[in-house]
Amino acid sequence: MYRFLLTPRWWGINLFVVLAIPFCVFMGTWQLGRFEDRVQTHDAAEKQPAPGTRPAKPIDELLPVDTVTSGRPATATGRYADQFLVPGRKLDDRSGFYVLDMLRTDSGKALPVVRGWLPGKPGRTPVPAAPTGKVTVTGDLQASENAGTTGVETTGGLPDGQLGMISAASLINLVPYDVYDAWVTLQDTGAGELRPVPAAAAQGTGLDLKAFQNLGYTGEWFVFAGFVLFMWFRLVRREAEAARDLQLGLVEEAAAAPETEPGKDPVSTGTGTGTGAA
């Protein structure tokens, strides 16, 4: 009854099923693994002590920035050089801008330092001058920003002296020296109107929408695998029932046979209507 499974048509169907089910299971397992990785990262971040309570370390010992070092106090020594204003940044629901100064270290490499936040728009609010001479700063380490970072200005066309994104890629074209692929925000801004900018949480340490998207995709792939298997059983059952009915004579063989090929005489096949002799 199931000999039809060995026909060329069913060989193609069977091959598709044999390949599709493992592929769906593999993709579902992979998505589940991504979700579990995010859960483990979240748990590890929750168990870490608060970044501000950990001892400060030299900037070079904390690079590259990852989920463990992000937010940790970092120290650097050098002299302030170029200054940039970063517009479109909010603090306590108020619009303002960051004051960013490049700290040239003894190695010649510069560390972007956000000295603080000021309300208003750049050019209209007086900006306190950066300290002169050699200084040692301690600030919370942050990863370079990207187009998806909150507050980043990506439209371009900013005036000279303004910066839309705090990143080495943005600064390397504005200054004649190498730049650290990281930045720090000072919590001690000193005297003046500057307000400290809180360190942002490291990206990818929480159970965000992407994590639950991975979980949703896991379910979808497993459903696809089940659907393929269900449809295969359904087709097999229908074909087997048709073969059984044919064996029992419940349906005419002509009904199960393929249509007459073009050019063939229906009379010769016994399925057409004969014409009387003249």
Residue 238 has pLDDT above 80, yes or no: yes
Query: What are the residue ranges spanned by the domains of the chain?
Result: 1-50+204-251, 71-186
With tokens 């730049």, the residue in question is: 179
- Mean pLDDT, the chain, integer: 83
More confident residue, 26 or 237: 26
Residues 6+ apart with CB under 8 A from 217: 27, 28, 31
Residues 6 or more apart whose Cβ sits within 8 Å of residue 76? 58, 59, 103, 105, 111, 113, 136, 137, 184
- What would the 3-class secondary structure string for 153-217 be? CCCCCCCCCECCCCCHHHHCCCCCCCECCCEEEECCCCCCCCECCCCCCCCCCCCCHHHHHHHHH
Amino acid of residue 81? A
| Cβ(118)–Cβ(193) below 8 Å | yes
Q: Is the pLDDT confidence value at 153 over 80? A: no
Higher-confidence residue: 154 or 131? 131
